[in-house]
Amino acid sequence: MSSGSFASVGLGSKRHRALPIPGASATMKAFTPDSSIASDVIPSPNFGDRNDSRAPDMILLHYTGMPDVEGAIARLCTAGTEVSAHYVVLEDGRIVQCVPEAKRAWHAGVAYWAGEEDINSCSIGVEVVNRGHDWGYPEFPLRQIAAVIALCRGIMLRRKVPSHRVLGHSDVAPSRKMDPGEKFPWHSLANSGVGHWVQPTAIVRGQPLKLGTVGDDVLKLQQGLARYGYGVPVSGTYDGTTMQVVTAFQRHFRPLRVDGIADHSTLTTLQALLANLSPGANVAAAG
Ligand SMILES: [Zn+2]
């Protein structure tokens, strides 16, 4: 590389398109990637220190949700956008690091998980390049998923991230976010040791809990979701927030039907997940 505007380590890029370098990054100092499989560093100015020197113990997965990769990387690496992520995983499997893992990247926004609201301080943010629901939502290529798995395995090992803290943006911000969405192959990640997942139980006929339902069964559902980590009111009333949280739960754990209705399959899949947590894994503050 003669331009010197970003560090290219490892993978030769002859058969790849060159990556876009936003103007601001050209003047920023490149750093050594934390992950040995990151092929490029494109430094972003959008980061700060982790509050209370919080050691990250969560991986938060996103999709970029933009029509092209150049625009997505430019947004994450340009001063003033106030967004960033530690890593971007391209569709061809290349991995770009934008923020050092030790620093606090700005990817979660207003969020909550298991008693914490400052998700940026406790997590490592990984943007998976995908146009998202607004732009046709294509399948994630296997080559890209293999790269996500390898990246996450490394982070989990180096940072001691437990399986149940590999999450999607929609899990921690269910009222605002849909990413990485129901096409993201969480089962494939889990088969490779990344993330907590159980085979969802079959969808059968029955009386579901849904918007407006009140009672002990709703209370139990909310308690279960809260115990897993979701930010949900424990009120016994199936309100709009509960519906959004159930929708987020389904996107991640029961993607065959994402409708915000707690049917038998949704309830039993949640129970199976909770039963399958390693003892002492949680964590969640009530409510
Ligand atoms: Zn996101």
Which residue, 30, 11, 35, is CA-closest to 88? 35
Task: Report the interhelical angle of 240-253 vs 264-276 (nearest 10°).
Answer: 70
Residue with tokens 């399958």: 276
What does the pLDDT read at residue 6? 44
pLDDT single digits (tens) 244-253: 999 999 999 9
pTM of the predicted model as reported, rounded to 2 decimal places: 0.91
Q: How far is the CA of 131 from the centre of ligand 1 (A)?
A: 12
Q: Exposed (0-12), middle (13-18) or buried (19+): which is 163, by Cβ within 10 Å?
A: middle
**Three-class HEC string of 36-98:** CCCCEECCCCCEECCHHHCCCCEEEEEECCCCCHHHHHHHHCCCCCCCCCCEEECCCCCEEEC
Rounded percentage of the chain residues whose pLDDT exceeds 90: 86
CA of 34 to the centre of ligand 1 (A): 21
Cα of 164 from ligand 1 centre, angstroms? 18
In tens, the pLDDT along 197-229 reads: 999 999 999 999 999 999 999 999 999 999 999
Burial of 1 (0-12, 13-18, 19+ CB in 10 A): exposed
List, for residues 21-71, the tens digit of each pLDDT value.
Answer: 665 555 677 899 999 999 999 999 999 999 999 999 999 999 999 999 999
Structure confidence by residue, pLDDT tens digits, 79-106: 999 999 999 999 999 999 999 999 999 9
Catalytic residues: 127
pLDDT digits (tens, 9 = 90+) for 224-240: 999 999 999 999 999 99
The rounded Å distance from CA 181 to ligand 1 centre is 10
| Average predicted confidence (pLDDT) for the chain | 91
